[in-house]
Amino acid sequence: METSESVVEGFLAWAARTPDEQALVADGDILTYRALEHRSGRTARALADLGLGPESVIGVCLHRTVDLAVAVLGVLRAGAACLPLDPDDPPERLAAMLTDSDTAVLITDLAGDWPVPVLDTTADETLAAPVAIRRDMLLYVMHTSGSTGRPKAIAMPHGPQLDLLAWCASRYAEGARALHYYPFTTDVAMLDLLITWSSGGCLVLATEHERVDVDALTRLIADQRVSRVLLPVLTLHELARHAMAHPERVRTLREIITTGDRLTLTEPVRRMCESLPAVVLDDHYGATEVNVVTAPRLRPPAAAWPDRPHLGGPVSQARIHVLDTALDPVPVNVVGEIHVGGGALARGYLGRPDLTALSFVPDPFSDVPGSRLYRTGDLARWRPGGALELVGRADFQLSVRGHRVEPGEVEAALRTYPEVGGAVVVRSGEGAQAVLAAYVVPAGAARPDPAALRADLKARLPAHLVPAVVTVLPEFPTTTSGKVDRARLPEPDARVDLRQPLADDVERLVAAVWRDVLDVGEIGAHDNFFQLGGHSLLVTQVAFRVGAALDVDVPPDWLFDLPTVRQFADRLRIAGREEE
Protein backbone atom coordinates (compact mmCIF):
# COMPACT_ATOMS: atom_id res chain seq x y z
CA MET A 1 0.00 0.00 0.00
CA GLU A 2 1.48 3.35 -1.01
CA THR A 3 2.04 5.98 1.66
CA SER A 4 -0.67 8.64 1.55
CA GLU A 5 -1.54 11.78 3.44
CA SER A 6 -5.10 10.51 4.00
CA VAL A 7 -6.27 7.28 5.61
CA VAL A 8 -9.08 6.94 3.03
CA GLU A 9 -6.79 6.81 -0.01
CA GLY A 10 -6.43 3.06 0.32
CA PHE A 11 -10.20 2.59 0.35
CA LEU A 12 -10.66 4.81 -2.72
CA ALA A 13 -7.99 2.87 -4.61
CA TRP A 14 -9.73 -0.44 -3.93
CA ALA A 15 -13.12 1.05 -4.79
CA ALA A 16 -11.74 1.93 -8.23
CA ARG A 17 -9.99 -1.42 -8.60
CA THR A 18 -12.70 -3.81 -7.30
CA PRO A 19 -15.99 -1.86 -7.26
CA ASP A 20 -18.21 -4.95 -7.21
CA GLU A 21 -16.47 -6.76 -4.36
CA GLN A 22 -18.13 -6.81 -0.95
CA ALA A 23 -16.90 -4.07 1.37
CA LEU A 24 -19.38 -4.23 4.25
CA VAL A 25 -21.77 -6.83 5.67
CA ALA A 26 -24.04 -6.07 8.62
CA ASP A 27 -27.10 -7.99 9.82
CA GLY A 28 -28.05 -9.15 6.32
CA ASP A 29 -27.21 -5.88 4.56
CA ILE A 30 -24.38 -5.93 2.01
CA LEU A 31 -22.56 -2.98 0.44
CA THR A 32 -20.07 -3.31 -2.38
CA TYR A 33 -17.10 -0.98 -2.66
CA ARG A 34 -19.03 1.00 -5.29
CA ALA A 35 -22.07 1.37 -3.04
CA LEU A 36 -19.98 2.25 0.00
CA GLU A 37 -18.05 4.86 -1.97
CA HIS A 38 -21.31 6.39 -3.18
CA ARG A 39 -23.06 6.48 0.19
CA SER A 40 -20.04 7.75 2.12
CA GLY A 41 -19.46 10.33 -0.62
CA ARG A 42 -22.96 11.72 -0.01
CA THR A 43 -22.17 12.13 3.67
CA ALA A 44 -18.91 13.87 2.83
CA ARG A 45 -20.74 16.20 0.43
CA ALA A 46 -23.36 17.08 3.07
CA LEU A 47 -20.54 18.11 5.41
CA ALA A 48 -18.70 20.03 2.69
CA ASP A 49 -21.87 21.96 1.84
CA LEU A 50 -21.85 23.23 5.43
CA GLY A 51 -18.24 24.31 5.10
CA LEU A 52 -17.06 21.49 7.34
CA GLY A 53 -13.79 19.74 6.61
CA PRO A 54 -10.28 19.60 8.10
CA GLU A 55 -10.18 20.23 11.87
CA SER A 56 -14.00 20.14 12.14
CA VAL A 57 -15.19 17.60 14.72
CA ILE A 58 -18.23 15.60 13.61
CA GLY A 59 -20.15 13.51 16.13
CA VAL A 60 -21.40 10.08 15.03
CA CYS A 61 -23.96 8.49 17.35
CA LEU A 62 -25.57 5.54 15.55
CA HIS A 63 -26.42 1.94 16.29
CA ARG A 64 -24.34 -0.90 14.79
CA THR A 65 -25.70 -1.02 11.24
CA VAL A 66 -24.23 -0.25 7.82
CA ASP A 67 -25.23 3.38 8.43
CA LEU A 68 -22.67 3.65 11.24
CA ALA A 69 -19.74 2.47 9.10
CA VAL A 70 -20.92 4.64 6.18
CA ALA A 71 -21.09 7.72 8.41
CA VAL A 72 -17.59 7.19 9.84
CA LEU A 73 -16.10 6.79 6.37
CA GLY A 74 -18.04 9.81 5.10
CA VAL A 75 -16.65 12.00 7.87
CA LEU A 76 -13.10 10.91 7.07
CA ARG A 77 -13.62 11.48 3.34
CA ALA A 78 -14.70 15.04 4.11
CA GLY A 79 -11.34 15.52 5.82
CA ALA A 80 -13.11 16.11 9.12
CA ALA A 81 -12.43 14.44 12.46
CA CYS A 82 -14.77 11.71 13.69
CA LEU A 83 -16.11 11.72 17.25
CA PRO A 84 -17.79 8.31 17.73
CA LEU A 85 -20.37 8.13 20.50
CA ASP A 86 -22.25 5.23 22.07
CA PRO A 87 -26.03 5.65 21.62
CA ASP A 88 -26.56 3.65 24.83
CA ASP A 89 -24.66 6.18 26.95
CA PRO A 90 -26.76 8.50 29.13
CA PRO A 91 -27.92 11.64 27.24
CA GLU A 92 -26.21 13.97 29.70
CA ARG A 93 -22.86 12.27 29.12
CA LEU A 94 -23.29 12.39 25.34
CA ALA A 95 -24.13 16.09 25.48
CA ALA A 96 -21.08 16.80 27.64
CA MET A 97 -18.75 14.99 25.22
CA LEU A 98 -20.22 16.85 22.24
CA THR A 99 -19.72 20.18 23.99
CA ASP A 100 -16.23 19.42 25.32
CA SER A 101 -15.06 18.38 21.84
CA ASP A 102 -16.40 21.56 20.19
CA THR A 103 -18.45 19.38 17.84
CA ALA A 104 -19.76 21.11 14.71
CA VAL A 105 -22.64 18.75 13.82
CA LEU A 106 -23.96 15.36 14.88
CA ILE A 107 -24.94 12.36 12.73
CA THR A 108 -27.43 10.31 14.74
CA ASP A 109 -30.51 8.10 14.56
CA LEU A 110 -31.62 9.16 18.04
CA ALA A 111 -34.23 11.77 18.79
CA GLY A 112 -33.27 14.28 21.42
CA ASP A 113 -32.46 17.83 22.39
CA TRP A 114 -28.83 17.90 21.26
CA PRO A 115 -26.45 20.79 22.00
CA VAL A 116 -25.26 20.79 18.35
CA PRO A 117 -27.11 20.67 14.99
CA VAL A 118 -28.03 17.26 13.54
CA LEU A 119 -26.82 16.61 9.98
CA ASP A 120 -29.23 15.60 7.22
CA THR A 121 -27.22 13.13 5.12
CA THR A 122 -30.01 12.28 2.65
CA ALA A 123 -30.56 15.59 0.90
CA ASP A 124 -27.92 15.62 -1.85
CA GLU A 125 -27.05 12.91 -4.38
CA THR A 126 -23.92 14.77 -5.51
CA LEU A 127 -20.67 13.23 -4.34
CA ALA A 128 -17.95 15.16 -2.54
CA ALA A 129 -14.81 16.36 -4.25
CA PRO A 130 -11.48 15.04 -2.90
CA VAL A 131 -10.11 16.95 0.09
CA ALA A 132 -6.40 17.62 0.59
CA ILE A 133 -5.31 16.10 3.90
CA ARG A 134 -2.01 16.55 5.74
CA ARG A 135 -0.50 14.21 8.30
CA ASP A 136 -0.89 16.74 11.09
CA MET A 137 -4.65 17.20 10.57
CA LEU A 138 -7.09 15.79 13.10
CA LEU A 139 -8.42 12.28 12.32
CA TYR A 140 -10.60 11.41 15.30
CA VAL A 141 -11.46 12.23 18.89
CA MET A 142 -11.90 9.36 21.35
CA HIS A 143 -13.04 9.67 24.94
CA THR A 144 -11.60 7.62 27.77
CA SER A 145 -12.39 7.56 31.45
CA GLY A 146 -11.06 10.58 33.38
CA SER A 147 -9.87 10.62 36.98
CA THR A 148 -11.70 13.87 37.78
CA GLY A 149 -15.09 12.52 36.71
CA ARG A 150 -14.88 14.20 33.32
CA PRO A 151 -14.03 11.98 30.30
CA LYS A 152 -10.78 12.83 28.51
CA ALA A 153 -11.04 13.65 24.79
CA ILE A 154 -7.98 12.28 23.00
CA ALA A 155 -7.16 14.07 19.72
CA MET A 156 -5.40 11.81 17.19
CA PRO A 157 -4.02 13.20 13.89
CA HIS A 158 -3.70 11.31 10.60
CA GLY A 159 0.07 10.76 10.79
CA PRO A 160 0.27 8.01 13.43
CA GLN A 161 -2.61 6.10 11.82
CA LEU A 162 -1.00 6.34 8.38
CA ASP A 163 2.24 4.90 9.73
CA LEU A 164 0.36 2.11 11.47
CA LEU A 165 -1.63 1.28 8.33
CA ALA A 166 1.58 1.08 6.32
CA TRP A 167 2.95 -1.39 8.87
CA CYS A 168 -0.31 -3.38 8.81
CA ALA A 169 -0.16 -3.60 5.01
CA SER A 170 3.07 -5.58 5.31
CA ARG A 171 1.65 -7.69 8.13
CA TYR A 172 -1.91 -8.72 7.24
CA ALA A 173 -3.46 -10.35 4.18
CA GLU A 174 -5.18 -8.40 1.42
CA GLY A 175 -8.82 -9.17 0.78
CA ALA A 176 -9.51 -10.54 4.27
CA ARG A 177 -13.04 -11.00 5.52
CA ALA A 178 -12.60 -9.28 8.87
CA LEU A 179 -14.93 -9.47 11.84
CA HIS A 180 -15.60 -6.03 13.34
CA TYR A 181 -16.30 -6.61 17.02
CA TYR A 182 -15.11 -3.62 19.05
CA PRO A 183 -17.41 -0.67 19.86
CA PHE A 184 -16.87 2.23 17.46
CA THR A 185 -16.01 4.42 20.46
CA THR A 186 -12.57 2.76 20.62
CA ASP A 187 -9.42 3.37 18.62
CA VAL A 188 -9.27 -0.40 18.00
CA ALA A 189 -12.55 -0.21 16.08
CA MET A 190 -11.22 2.58 13.86
CA LEU A 191 -8.03 0.65 13.13
CA ASP A 192 -9.97 -2.52 12.31
CA LEU A 193 -12.14 -0.62 9.83
CA LEU A 194 -9.21 1.12 8.13
CA ILE A 195 -7.00 -2.00 7.93
CA THR A 196 -9.78 -3.85 6.15
CA TRP A 197 -10.77 -1.18 3.63
CA SER A 198 -7.17 -0.17 2.95
CA SER A 199 -6.42 -3.74 1.86
CA GLY A 200 -9.49 -4.56 -0.23
CA GLY A 201 -11.21 -6.64 2.44
CA CYS A 202 -14.79 -7.00 3.59
CA LEU A 203 -15.80 -5.71 7.02
CA VAL A 204 -18.24 -8.09 8.75
CA LEU A 205 -19.97 -5.96 11.38
CA ALA A 206 -21.15 -7.94 14.41
CA THR A 207 -24.52 -6.84 15.78
CA GLU A 208 -24.92 -6.04 19.47
CA HIS A 209 -26.55 -9.44 19.96
CA GLU A 210 -23.67 -11.22 18.22
CA ARG A 211 -21.17 -9.31 20.35
CA VAL A 212 -22.60 -10.71 23.60
CA ASP A 213 -23.71 -14.17 22.40
CA VAL A 214 -20.67 -16.31 21.58
CA ASP A 215 -22.85 -18.91 19.87
CA ALA A 216 -24.23 -16.27 17.52
CA LEU A 217 -20.72 -14.87 17.05
CA THR A 218 -19.28 -18.22 15.96
CA ARG A 219 -22.22 -18.73 13.60
CA LEU A 220 -21.46 -15.32 12.06
CA ILE A 221 -17.80 -16.26 11.63
CA ALA A 222 -18.81 -19.47 9.86
CA ASP A 223 -21.59 -18.01 7.73
CA GLN A 224 -19.45 -15.09 6.53
CA ARG A 225 -16.24 -17.15 6.13
CA VAL A 226 -14.38 -14.72 8.38
CA SER A 227 -10.61 -15.01 8.03
CA ARG A 228 -9.47 -12.34 10.53
CA VAL A 229 -10.74 -11.43 13.99
CA LEU A 230 -9.62 -8.64 16.33
CA LEU A 231 -10.98 -9.42 19.78
CA PRO A 232 -10.53 -8.60 23.47
CA VAL A 233 -8.56 -11.26 25.32
CA LEU A 234 -11.57 -12.49 27.29
CA THR A 235 -13.71 -12.74 24.16
CA LEU A 236 -10.97 -14.81 22.53
CA HIS A 237 -11.09 -17.12 25.55
CA GLU A 238 -14.86 -17.50 25.21
CA LEU A 239 -14.63 -18.00 21.45
CA ALA A 240 -12.03 -20.74 21.86
CA ARG A 241 -13.99 -22.49 24.58
CA HIS A 242 -17.09 -22.50 22.38
CA ALA A 243 -15.05 -23.69 19.40
CA MET A 244 -14.21 -26.87 21.30
CA ALA A 245 -17.85 -27.92 20.80
CA HIS A 246 -18.16 -26.35 17.33
CA PRO A 247 -14.73 -26.51 15.65
CA GLU A 248 -16.26 -26.26 12.18
CA ARG A 249 -17.36 -22.68 12.86
CA VAL A 250 -13.83 -21.28 13.11
CA ARG A 251 -12.11 -23.21 10.32
CA THR A 252 -11.83 -20.15 8.07
CA LEU A 253 -9.74 -18.17 10.58
CA ARG A 254 -6.21 -17.33 9.44
CA GLU A 255 -5.34 -14.21 11.48
CA ILE A 256 -6.28 -13.72 15.13
CA ILE A 257 -5.49 -10.40 16.80
CA THR A 258 -6.14 -9.75 20.46
CA THR A 259 -5.85 -6.67 22.64
CA GLY A 260 -7.35 -4.94 25.67
CA ASP A 261 -5.92 -6.99 28.54
CA ARG A 262 -2.70 -8.90 29.05
CA LEU A 263 -2.79 -12.04 26.90
CA THR A 264 -2.92 -15.34 28.72
CA LEU A 265 -3.09 -18.53 26.70
CA THR A 266 -5.75 -20.92 27.96
CA GLU A 267 -5.95 -24.56 26.95
CA PRO A 268 -8.99 -23.94 24.68
CA VAL A 269 -7.08 -21.17 22.86
CA ARG A 270 -4.16 -23.53 22.27
CA ARG A 271 -6.44 -26.32 21.07
CA MET A 272 -8.33 -24.02 18.72
CA CYS A 273 -5.11 -22.67 17.23
CA GLU A 274 -3.64 -26.17 16.93
CA SER A 275 -6.70 -27.13 14.87
CA LEU A 276 -5.95 -24.22 12.52
CA PRO A 277 -2.47 -25.05 11.20
CA ALA A 278 -2.16 -21.85 9.14
CA VAL A 279 -3.31 -19.44 11.85
CA VAL A 280 -1.17 -16.75 13.48
CA LEU A 281 -1.95 -14.97 16.75
CA ASP A 282 -0.93 -11.32 17.23
CA ASP A 283 -1.08 -9.58 20.60
CA HIS A 284 -1.52 -5.81 20.18
CA TYR A 285 -0.40 -3.61 23.06
CA GLY A 286 -0.93 0.13 23.22
CA ALA A 287 -3.24 2.88 24.44
CA THR A 288 -5.73 5.23 22.83
CA GLU A 289 -3.10 7.99 23.11
CA VAL A 290 -0.58 6.03 21.01
CA ASN A 291 -2.48 3.32 19.10
CA VAL A 292 -0.61 0.01 18.75
CA VAL A 293 3.04 0.11 19.83
CA THR A 294 3.95 -3.59 20.13
CA ALA A 295 2.49 -6.64 18.40
CA PRO A 296 4.36 -9.89 19.05
CA ARG A 297 3.29 -12.70 16.71
CA LEU A 298 2.82 -16.29 17.78
CA ARG A 299 3.20 -18.89 15.03
CA PRO A 300 2.47 -22.63 15.08
CA PRO A 301 2.87 -24.89 16.91
CA ALA A 302 0.56 -23.50 19.59
CA ALA A 303 1.76 -26.11 22.08
CA ALA A 304 5.08 -24.26 22.28
CA TRP A 305 3.57 -20.86 23.09
CA PRO A 306 4.28 -19.43 26.58
CA ASP A 307 1.33 -19.02 28.95
CA ARG A 308 1.91 -15.25 29.23
CA PRO A 309 3.70 -13.98 26.11
CA HIS A 310 5.97 -10.94 26.36
CA LEU A 311 5.07 -7.69 24.62
CA GLY A 312 7.91 -7.82 22.11
CA GLY A 313 9.50 -4.71 20.61
CA PRO A 314 8.08 -1.52 19.05
CA VAL A 315 6.23 -1.50 15.72
CA SER A 316 5.61 1.17 13.08
CA GLN A 317 7.11 4.53 14.09
CA ALA A 318 6.82 3.97 17.85
CA ARG A 319 9.76 4.22 20.21
CA ILE A 320 9.58 2.52 23.62
CA HIS A 321 11.52 3.50 26.73
CA VAL A 322 11.30 1.92 30.18
CA LEU A 323 12.20 4.71 32.60
CA ASP A 324 12.43 5.48 36.29
CA THR A 325 10.77 8.50 37.93
CA ALA A 326 13.66 10.74 36.81
CA LEU A 327 13.10 9.68 33.17
CA ASP A 328 16.33 7.69 33.15
CA PRO A 329 16.41 4.27 31.46
CA VAL A 330 16.34 1.31 33.84
CA PRO A 331 18.67 -1.68 33.38
CA VAL A 332 17.53 -5.00 31.94
CA ASN A 333 15.28 -6.94 34.39
CA VAL A 334 14.55 -3.78 36.41
CA VAL A 335 10.95 -2.53 36.52
CA GLY A 336 10.13 0.94 35.19
CA GLU A 337 7.28 2.78 33.52
CA ILE A 338 6.67 2.39 29.78
CA HIS A 339 7.04 5.67 27.89
CA VAL A 340 6.19 5.84 24.18
CA GLY A 341 7.79 8.28 21.76
CA GLY A 342 8.35 8.60 18.03
CA GLY A 343 5.55 9.21 15.56
CA ALA A 344 2.80 7.32 17.39
CA LEU A 345 1.50 10.03 19.72
CA ALA A 346 -1.81 11.84 19.84
CA ARG A 347 -1.86 15.63 20.08
CA GLY A 348 -3.08 15.38 23.64
CA TYR A 349 -6.38 15.95 25.45
CA LEU A 350 -8.74 18.48 23.88
CA GLY A 351 -9.22 21.50 26.11
CA ARG A 352 -7.12 19.95 28.90
CA PRO A 353 -3.60 21.43 28.70
CA ASP A 354 -3.01 20.49 32.34
CA LEU A 355 -3.65 16.79 31.75
CA THR A 356 -1.77 16.89 28.45
CA ALA A 357 1.30 18.29 30.20
CA LEU A 358 1.15 15.56 32.84
CA SER A 359 0.88 12.66 30.39
CA PHE A 360 2.87 13.98 27.40
CA VAL A 361 6.33 15.05 28.55
CA PRO A 362 9.37 16.36 26.62
CA ASP A 363 11.40 13.55 25.03
CA PRO A 364 14.99 13.74 26.34
CA PHE A 365 16.11 11.06 23.84
CA SER A 366 15.10 12.89 20.65
CA ASP A 367 16.93 15.57 18.69
CA VAL A 368 13.69 16.69 17.02
CA PRO A 369 12.38 19.95 18.53
CA GLY A 370 9.05 19.51 20.29
CA SER A 371 9.29 15.71 20.55
CA ARG A 372 7.35 14.19 23.41
CA LEU A 373 6.94 10.95 25.35
CA TYR A 374 3.61 9.54 26.49
CA ARG A 375 3.59 8.15 30.01
CA THR A 376 1.47 5.00 29.77
CA GLY A 377 1.26 4.24 33.49
CA ASP A 378 2.18 0.62 32.68
CA LEU A 379 5.06 -0.99 34.52
CA ALA A 380 7.38 -3.32 32.61
CA ARG A 381 10.95 -4.53 32.30
CA TRP A 382 13.21 -5.39 29.42
CA ARG A 383 14.19 -9.04 29.36
CA PRO A 384 17.51 -10.32 28.01
CA GLY A 385 17.14 -10.50 24.25
CA GLY A 386 15.02 -7.35 23.95
CA ALA A 387 11.52 -8.59 24.82
CA LEU A 388 9.29 -6.34 26.93
CA GLU A 389 7.50 -7.95 29.89
CA LEU A 390 4.41 -6.22 31.30
CA VAL A 391 4.28 -6.18 35.11
CA GLY A 392 1.30 -4.02 36.14
CA ARG A 393 0.09 -0.45 36.62
CA ALA A 394 1.94 2.51 38.11
CA ASP A 395 -1.29 4.26 39.11
CA PHE A 396 -4.83 3.34 40.06
CA GLN A 397 -6.09 3.12 36.47
CA LEU A 398 -7.82 -0.21 35.91
CA SER A 399 -8.52 -2.49 32.99
CA VAL A 400 -11.78 -4.40 33.46
CA ARG A 401 -12.73 -6.87 30.71
CA GLY A 402 -10.98 -4.78 28.07
CA HIS A 403 -12.37 -1.42 29.24
CA ARG A 404 -9.97 1.24 30.47
CA VAL A 405 -11.38 2.66 33.70
CA GLU A 406 -10.25 5.62 35.79
CA PRO A 407 -11.64 4.85 39.26
CA GLY A 408 -11.70 8.59 39.93
CA GLU A 409 -14.50 9.08 37.42
CA VAL A 410 -16.74 6.60 39.24
CA GLU A 411 -15.67 7.93 42.63
CA ALA A 412 -16.52 11.49 41.55
CA ALA A 413 -19.99 10.36 40.46
CA LEU A 414 -20.60 8.61 43.80
CA ARG A 415 -19.50 11.67 45.77
CA THR A 416 -22.24 13.77 44.17
CA TYR A 417 -24.87 11.97 46.28
CA PRO A 418 -25.56 13.91 49.50
CA GLU A 419 -25.62 10.75 51.63
CA VAL A 420 -22.14 9.69 50.44
CA GLY A 421 -19.23 11.15 52.38
CA GLY A 422 -16.47 9.41 50.44
CA ALA A 423 -15.97 6.78 47.77
CA VAL A 424 -13.25 4.39 46.64
CA VAL A 425 -13.48 2.18 43.54
CA VAL A 426 -11.26 -0.84 42.92
CA ARG A 427 -11.17 -3.89 40.72
CA SER A 428 -12.36 -7.07 42.39
CA GLY A 429 -11.31 -10.40 40.90
CA GLU A 430 -9.17 -11.23 37.92
CA GLY A 431 -9.71 -12.15 34.29
CA ALA A 432 -13.27 -13.09 33.40
CA GLN A 433 -14.35 -12.56 37.04
CA ALA A 434 -13.02 -8.98 37.21
CA VAL A 435 -15.62 -6.36 38.16
CA LEU A 436 -15.68 -2.85 39.60
CA ALA A 437 -16.34 -2.75 43.32
CA ALA A 438 -17.22 0.51 45.06
CA TYR A 439 -16.85 1.35 48.75
CA VAL A 440 -18.65 4.33 50.27
CA VAL A 441 -18.86 5.90 53.72
CA PRO A 442 -21.91 7.85 54.94
CA ALA A 443 -21.89 11.65 54.97
CA GLY A 444 -24.09 11.71 58.07
CA ALA A 445 -26.53 9.55 59.97
CA ALA A 446 -28.34 8.30 56.86
CA ARG A 447 -26.86 5.09 55.44
CA PRO A 448 -26.41 5.10 51.63
CA ASP A 449 -28.55 2.51 49.83
CA PRO A 450 -26.26 0.41 47.57
CA ALA A 451 -29.07 -0.70 45.27
CA ALA A 452 -30.33 2.87 44.81
CA LEU A 453 -26.83 4.15 44.10
CA ARG A 454 -26.24 1.50 41.42
CA ALA A 455 -29.63 2.14 39.86
CA ASP A 456 -28.97 5.86 39.59
CA LEU A 457 -25.42 5.39 38.29
CA LYS A 458 -26.82 3.27 35.46
CA ALA A 459 -28.61 6.40 34.19
CA ARG A 460 -25.48 8.54 34.45
CA LEU A 461 -22.54 6.36 33.40
CA PRO A 462 -21.74 3.84 30.67
CA ALA A 463 -22.40 0.26 31.71
CA HIS A 464 -18.70 -0.59 32.13
CA LEU A 465 -18.31 2.21 34.71
CA VAL A 466 -21.20 1.07 36.94
CA PRO A 467 -19.86 -0.90 39.93
CA ALA A 468 -21.11 -4.46 40.16
CA VAL A 469 -21.39 -4.04 43.92
CA VAL A 470 -21.42 -1.13 46.39
CA THR A 471 -20.26 -1.79 49.95
CA VAL A 472 -21.02 0.67 52.77
CA LEU A 473 -18.30 1.06 55.42
CA PRO A 474 -18.37 3.15 58.62
CA GLU A 475 -14.94 4.52 57.64
CA PHE A 476 -12.10 3.75 55.23
CA PRO A 477 -8.95 1.99 56.44
CA THR A 478 -6.01 4.37 56.15
CA THR A 479 -2.24 4.26 55.95
CA THR A 480 0.01 6.04 58.45
CA SER A 481 0.07 9.01 56.07
CA GLY A 482 -3.72 9.24 56.11
CA LYS A 483 -4.37 7.86 52.63
CA VAL A 484 -6.99 5.19 51.97
CA ASP A 485 -5.33 1.80 52.39
CA ARG A 486 -6.83 -0.08 49.47
CA ALA A 487 -5.06 -3.29 50.45
CA ARG A 488 -7.07 -3.36 53.71
CA LEU A 489 -10.49 -2.87 52.15
CA PRO A 490 -12.74 -5.84 53.04
CA GLU A 491 -14.14 -8.25 50.50
CA PRO A 492 -17.05 -6.54 48.71
CA ASP A 493 -20.62 -7.36 49.69
CA ALA A 494 -21.55 -9.58 46.75
CA ARG A 495 -25.27 -9.71 47.47
CA VAL A 496 -27.87 -7.05 48.19
CA ASP A 497 -30.62 -9.57 49.08
CA LEU A 498 -30.71 -11.97 52.02
CA ARG A 499 -29.87 -15.46 50.83
CA GLN A 500 -33.07 -17.43 50.27
CA PRO A 501 -33.11 -21.24 50.06
CA LEU A 502 -33.25 -22.89 46.66
CA ALA A 503 -36.63 -24.43 45.85
CA ASP A 504 -35.93 -27.34 43.48
CA ASP A 505 -33.44 -29.07 41.20
CA VAL A 506 -33.68 -26.38 38.53
CA GLU A 507 -32.71 -23.63 40.96
CA ARG A 508 -29.96 -25.83 42.38
CA LEU A 509 -28.61 -26.43 38.85
CA VAL A 510 -28.63 -22.69 38.08
CA ALA A 511 -26.89 -21.89 41.36
CA ALA A 512 -24.25 -24.58 40.78
CA VAL A 513 -23.42 -23.23 37.32
CA TRP A 514 -23.26 -19.67 38.65
CA ARG A 515 -20.95 -20.72 41.50
CA ASP A 516 -18.58 -22.37 39.05
CA VAL A 517 -18.63 -19.58 36.47
CA LEU A 518 -18.45 -16.71 38.97
CA ASP A 519 -16.14 -18.47 41.44
CA VAL A 520 -18.30 -17.47 44.42
CA GLY A 521 -19.63 -19.28 47.48
CA GLU A 522 -23.21 -20.05 48.42
CA ILE A 523 -25.93 -18.51 46.25
CA GLY A 524 -29.55 -17.87 47.20
CA ALA A 525 -32.72 -17.86 45.14
CA HIS A 526 -32.90 -14.07 44.98
CA ASP A 527 -29.24 -13.43 44.24
CA ASN A 528 -28.62 -11.39 41.10
CA PHE A 529 -26.15 -12.72 38.52
CA PHE A 530 -24.77 -9.28 37.68
CA GLN A 531 -24.50 -8.12 41.28
CA LEU A 532 -22.44 -11.24 41.94
CA GLY A 533 -19.96 -10.12 39.29
CA GLY A 534 -21.50 -11.56 36.13
CA HIS A 535 -21.16 -9.81 32.80
CA SER A 536 -22.02 -10.33 29.13
CA LEU A 537 -19.09 -12.64 28.36
CA LEU A 538 -20.15 -14.99 31.16
CA VAL A 539 -23.85 -14.87 30.24
CA THR A 540 -23.24 -16.94 27.11
CA GLN A 541 -21.30 -19.53 29.12
CA VAL A 542 -24.14 -19.86 31.63
CA ALA A 543 -26.77 -20.13 28.89
CA PHE A 544 -24.78 -22.81 27.08
CA ARG A 545 -24.11 -24.92 30.19
CA VAL A 546 -27.62 -24.69 31.64
CA GLY A 547 -29.18 -25.38 28.25
CA ALA A 548 -26.98 -28.44 27.75
CA ALA A 549 -27.83 -29.79 31.21
CA LEU A 550 -31.59 -29.37 30.72
CA ASP A 551 -31.58 -30.16 26.98
CA VAL A 552 -33.37 -26.90 26.11
CA ASP A 553 -32.39 -23.94 23.95
CA VAL A 554 -31.47 -21.06 26.32
CA PRO A 555 -30.98 -17.65 24.63
CA PRO A 556 -28.56 -15.41 26.57
CA ASP A 557 -31.22 -12.67 26.60
CA TRP A 558 -33.14 -14.65 29.23
CA LEU A 559 -30.45 -14.04 31.82
CA PHE A 560 -30.23 -10.34 30.96
CA ASP A 561 -34.00 -9.99 31.45
CA LEU A 562 -34.31 -12.41 34.40
CA PRO A 563 -31.10 -12.00 36.40
CA THR A 564 -31.97 -13.74 39.70
CA VAL A 565 -31.76 -17.49 40.25
CA ARG A 566 -35.51 -17.82 40.79
CA GLN A 567 -36.50 -15.63 37.81
CA PHE A 568 -34.13 -17.48 35.51
CA ALA A 569 -35.24 -20.88 36.82
CA ASP A 570 -38.92 -19.98 36.33
CA ARG A 571 -38.24 -19.29 32.65
CA LEU A 572 -36.30 -22.55 32.33
CA ARG A 573 -39.23 -24.50 33.76
CA ILE A 574 -41.54 -22.95 31.15
CA ALA A 575 -39.06 -23.82 28.40
CA GLY A 576 -38.87 -27.39 29.64
CA ARG A 577 -42.65 -27.76 29.44
CA GLU A 578 -42.65 -26.26 25.94
CA GLU A 579 -40.04 -28.80 24.81
CA GLU A 580 -42.18 -31.73 26.02
Q: Indicate the SS3 state at residue 551.
A: coil
Q: Is the distance from CB of 432 to CB of 239 less than 8 angstroms?
A: no
DSSP bridge pairs for 228: 178, 255
**pLDDT-derived band at 390, boundaries 50, 70, 90:** confident
State the CATH architecture for 505-579: Orthogonal Bundle (1.10)
Domain boundaries, the chain: 1-166, 318-359+367-393, 398-488, 505-579
Q: Report the pLDDT value the prediction gives residue 173, as an integer from 0 to 100.
A: 96
Q: How far apart are CA 539 and CA 216, in angstroms?
A: 13
Pairing of strands 255-259, 228-232: parallel
Closest-CA residue to 257 (of 313, 195, 304, 210)? 195
Q: Report the pLDDT value the prediction gives residue 395, as an integer from 0 to 100.
A: 65
> What's the number of CA atoms in the CB half-sphere (13 Å) around residue 494?
21
Q: Report the pLDDT value the prediction gives residue 482, as an integer from 0 to 100.
A: 55
State the CATH architecture for 398-488: 2-Layer Sandwich (3.30)
Inter-axis angle of helices 187-197 and 9-17, to 10 degrees? 30
DSSP state of 523: -
Q: Is 181 a residue whose pLDDT tops 70?
A: yes
Give tens-digit pLDDT for 159-173: 999 999 999 999 999
**Which DSSP string do the residues of 354-422 spell out, in sequence order?**
HHHHHHEEE-TT--STT-EEEEEEEEEEEPTTS-EEEEEESSS-EEETTEEE-HHHHHHHHTTSTTEEE
Give tens-digit pLDDT for 263-277: 888 888 999 999 998
Q: Is 433 a residue whose pLDDT tops 80?
A: no
State the CATH architecture for 318-359+367-393: Roll (2.30)
Q: Is 498 a residue whose pLDDT tops 50?
A: no
Average the pLDDT over 114-137 and give the result.
Answer: 82
Fold match between 318-359+367-393 and 505-579? no
**pLDDT-derived band at 37, boundaries 50, 70, 90:** very high
**pLDDT-derived band at 2, boundaries 50, 70, 90:** very low
State the CATH architecture for 1-166: 3-Layer(aba) Sandwich (3.40)
For the ranges 106-110, 183-187, 309-313, 347-351, the lowest mean pLDDT is seen at: 309-313
Average the pLDDT over 420-433 and give the result.
Answer: 77
Q: Is the distance from CB of 471 to CB of 437 less than 8 angstroms?
A: yes
Q: Is 493 a residue whose pLDDT tops 70?
A: no
Q: Indicate the SS3 state at residue 138.
A: strand
